Structure 1
Amino acid sequence: MYSVIVVADDLTGAMDTSQGFAARGYETAVVADPEAEIGAVGEEGAVLGINTDTRYDDADDAARSVSEAVGATPARTVYKKIDSTLRGNFVAEVDAALNAAESELALVAPAFPSIGRTTERGIHYVDGTPVSETEYGDDEKGPASSSIRELFASVDRPVETVSHAALGSDDNGIAAAVERHDRPPVVVCDAVEDDHLADIAAAADGFDALYVGSGGLAAHVPVRGSEPDFEFSRQFPDGGALGVVGSVSATTLAQLGRVPEEAVVPLDGPALVAGEEPDAAVERAVRRLNEGRPAVLTAATDEAAIERTHAAGREAELASPAVRERVANGLASAAAAVLDEETPSGLLLTGGDVAVSVIRELGATTIRLTGEEVEAGIPLGTFADGGTPEVPLVTKAGGFGSEETIVNCLDVFSENDA
């Protein structure tokens, strides 16, 4: 039995949320490939992250995957990771996890104040703007409302909103919400500061709660049955760092804009959609790594490149998921070809689909977290299996980080200039 399992709908989320436990010294592994058997880690331990890779699945299929993950992995505590911008099938997945875990309540706190995600009066914000009014609301699986309570209206379950001030009160707190209902309720908690998340976790400590949140709440959830005694000794290989950027978020595009132009190795999106091999890009990246310089593979250098890729998909009569899959597989194939020739000092993966595709191409299934992070929500790990166990890696969600984040990630792996 694990002390905690973290069930996430994409890899970067599984990583950044599991980091909340690894940073406190708990031995933590993340199963990156949802199709893989858990072979690189034992059947018990402190913390196990599980990537169900269900963000863009049909809601019923996503719920089924979550139920199976929770049911198949015994744990003292279940943490259902949801996107800090409320994308995906999170309502159906929370409902499924609550049923599978048989908990007293779902404690929902998606806030991550240190990266600009906050919840106030049940309304969720990104950098002060209601989330449905941001770019994330335009996502095909984006939130239709910024009210978390409204989003949960689609499930037959009581939903209550608890302010930070009322957490422990007899009338309006968590205990009162549980006592008012015969069925396990969804309790949505406000949080506008990191300390609020600590208070939420403490207020729920007396309950058998399904914790629901992003990376913010995970840093405060108690770990029962394990001691924080894990230590990591950092040692990176020599050479340049390799980045693989699959996210098309505005945040990531701004971060790419800070990478020196000569370090960016563009792949042609329409060619990837057509199934062509990016041989020239692979050769260029190999050459840079051989010279000890970083290389960043991407098919999304700017909005125009993204639109050309979408146009190629439409011309080929491909749905958006198929276009994403072809681009992700093309980037993963290019990364694997580079790694066949050169061993980088480290690997940066941004964009959940691409990260899984790259890891699968490398024959790996599981990542061990070191407890270190480049910035909030951007953890450092090492492969637990596969053909490149000596290569450390960083994963980054597309919307995370400052404009310098990609540069900072590359710098972590190497002291060489770009």
Structure 2
Amino acid sequence: MKTIIVADDLTGANVSNSLLAKNGLRVGSLDGLDDISVYSEFDAIGFHTDSRGISKEDAYKAVYDITSKASGMDVKFFNKRIDSTLRGNVGAEIDGMMDALPNDIISMLVPGFPNSGKIVIGNYMLVNGTPLENTDVRNDPTSPVLTSRVAAIVRQQSKKPVGVITMETILEGVNAIELNIKVLVNNGVKIIIFDSCTNEDIVKIAKAVLATDLPFISVDPGPFTNALVKELTPVETTKSKQKALFIIGTVSGIITDQMADFKATYAPYTVKINSEDFLYADRAKNEIERVTNDILSNIEDHHLFVIATMNEKSDKIDLDAASKTAHLSVHDASEKICASVAEIGYQIVQRSNNQIGGVYTSGGDITKSFLKRCQANGIEIKDEIIPLAVYGRVIGGIIDNTPIVTKGGLIGDKKTLSKCAAYLTTKISNSFYKGE
């Protein structure tokens, strides 16, 4: 599919594109339409008009011109990206895009951006609970915003009839939203503004808009377009590009804090490894199969997967005592555990039908064992995320060129694992760029 995003500045185009990239889509931000055919395989292309601080007439023309040129392409839908605090020539630029497209086009405007603290309720925008007009945007030197009412901001410049769908309807669900859209359109409304307080609200709006089968453009700061693209894109397209496996064999107090923050932030699918079983041949085989099968049986329903020898502090085994019971030296016991954890990682990667797009390993011994099992020659280091946590690409073996993040087991604070996860998933999403 193809999505064309027209933003009033480069940062805006990048923000919208970054949301799409995190879902595994191929996106790019361009300065102009020259040689656009080169980008025919991209899922979304963002353009910027540098029109936030110029006159509304010039802003209208800039958006009209670029939309007109792009309208001949194989485009699923157009997005007019607006500032998340409604600065700039919002109404004029909506008109510019609509006028460049067929007359029956409807603008679906969802200005909420819940993850950045911006919600709309009763057609009033609140920023972290404060009315928009009482925030610093009131004093913006080029684009001050003097009202919190979204419809009032749009009507200041747009010549199109404006309608509003409030939270009361949003809470009733997709069918109610769809019905209200159709009623407004039948009454001649061309720009529909939606309340939204959560990401779930935005997903419901996206589903309802698509259910109407009306020709439309999306108008938003990014989340609504992201929801639309996810609805329109086959599940397999995104899932295969964004799955990551986290192999954590570290046994330390800090890892439990990092795991707790990681779970709260990303809700990964997590399987606890019973590492003491690896000291006995039969039990080791059964435990490897149990953990591997658990992950693979849930591979279609999640994006991030964790296999860990320690989730809670109570999970820590007494390796001295366990090794004596198994009649092993501490060194040999540690080697068996590392090799078995690496075997699980290898089995998951090998049997996941190429759905694992990146790997995180914690602890030098675990990293070494995993790479050895995958017949890799090493890692091409690309970047340092934090000291002793690095990003790179696997060299050789069955996961050649796969993005990988490795971290020392005792490194970082409670946020470190989440930071590494954010870094890795972004790299996975953009893995189609050779040499990334």
Hey, what does 1:218 align to over in structure 2? 225
Pairs within 5 Å for 1:396-407: none
Task: Report the aligned-residue RMSD.
Answer: 3.6
Deviations, residues 91-124 of structure 1 (Å, cap 9, x unaligned): 1101111222335311111111011011011111
Across the two proteins, how many residue pairs are aligned to each other?
250
* Contact 2:91–2:155 (Cα < 8 Å) also in 1: no
Pairs within 5 Å for 1:294-309: none
* Contact 1:157–1:186 (Cα < 8 Å) also in 2: yes
Alpha-carbon distance between aligned partners in 2 of 1:22 and 1:58, rounded to the nearest angstrom:
32
Question: Any unmatched runs of 5+ in structure 2?
Answer: 245-381, 386-418
* Contact 2:177–2:208 (Cα < 8 Å) also in 1: no
Residue 199 in 1 paired to residue 208 in 2? no
* Contact 1:24–1:228 (Cα < 8 Å) also in 2: no
Deviations, residues 192-211 of structure 1 (Å, cap 9, x unaligned): 11100001111100321111
2:163 maps to which of 152, 160, 163: 160
Range that drifts further, 20-29 or 133-142: 20-29
* Letter in structure 1 aligned against 2:160: R
Alpha-carbon distance between aligned partners in 2 of 1:27 and 1:384, rounded to the nearest angstrom:
7
Displacement of 1:63:
1.1
Percent identity over the alignment is: 22
Displacement of 1:59:
1.4
Displacement of 1:383:
12
Alpha-carbon distance between aligned partners in 2 of 1:191 and 1:69, rounded to the nearest angstrom:
29
Deviations, residues 237-278 of structure 1 (Å, cap 9, x unaligned): xxxxxxxxxxxxxxxxxxxxxxxxxxxxxxxxxxxxxxxxxx
Hey, what does 2:83 align to over in structure 1? 83
Hey, what does 1:237 align to over in structure 2? none
TM-score if structure 2 supplies the norm length?
0.50
Range that drifts further, 89-98 or 18-27: 18-27
Deviations, residues 32-57 of structure 1 (Å, cap 9, x unaligned): x35x7346942454211112221112
* Contact 2:23–2:242 (Cα < 8 Å) also in 1: no
CA distance 1:127–1:231, change in 2 (3 Å): same
Deviations, residues 160-207 of structure 1 (Å, cap 9, x unaligned): 1101332543897111111111xx511110001110000111110032
Q: Which secondary structure state, in structure 1, belongs to the residue aligned with residue 182 of structure 2?
A: helix
Question: Any unmatched runs of 5+ in structure 1?
Answer: 235-343, 348-371, 393-418
* Contact 2:178–2:208 (Cα < 8 Å) also in 1: no
Alpha-carbon distance between aligned partners in 2 of 1:384 and 1:62, rounded to the nearest angstrom:
34
Alpha-carbon distance between aligned partners in 2 of 1:204 and 1:114, rounded to the nearest angstrom:
22
CA distance 1:21–1:12, change in 2 (3 Å): same
1:63 maps to which of 60, 79, 96: 60
Hey, what does 1:6 align to over in structure 2? 5
Alpha-carbon distance between aligned partners in 2 of 1:59 and 1:91, rounded to the nearest angstrom:
9
CA distance 1:70–1:374, change in 2 (3 Å): farther
* Letter in structure 2 aligned against 1:30: S
Hey, what does 1:333 align to over in structure 2? none
Range that drifts further, 78-87 or 162-171: 162-171
Residue 228 in 1 paired to residue 237 in 2? yes
Pairs within 5 Å for 1:251-262: none
* Contact 1:20–1:218 (Cα < 8 Å) also in 2: no
Hey, what does 2:187 align to over in structure 1? 180
Deviations, residues 352-392 of structure 1 (Å, cap 9, x unaligned): xxxxxxxxxxxxxxxxxxxx99979x97798999xxx96x7
CA distance 1:374–1:159, change in 2 (3 Å): farther
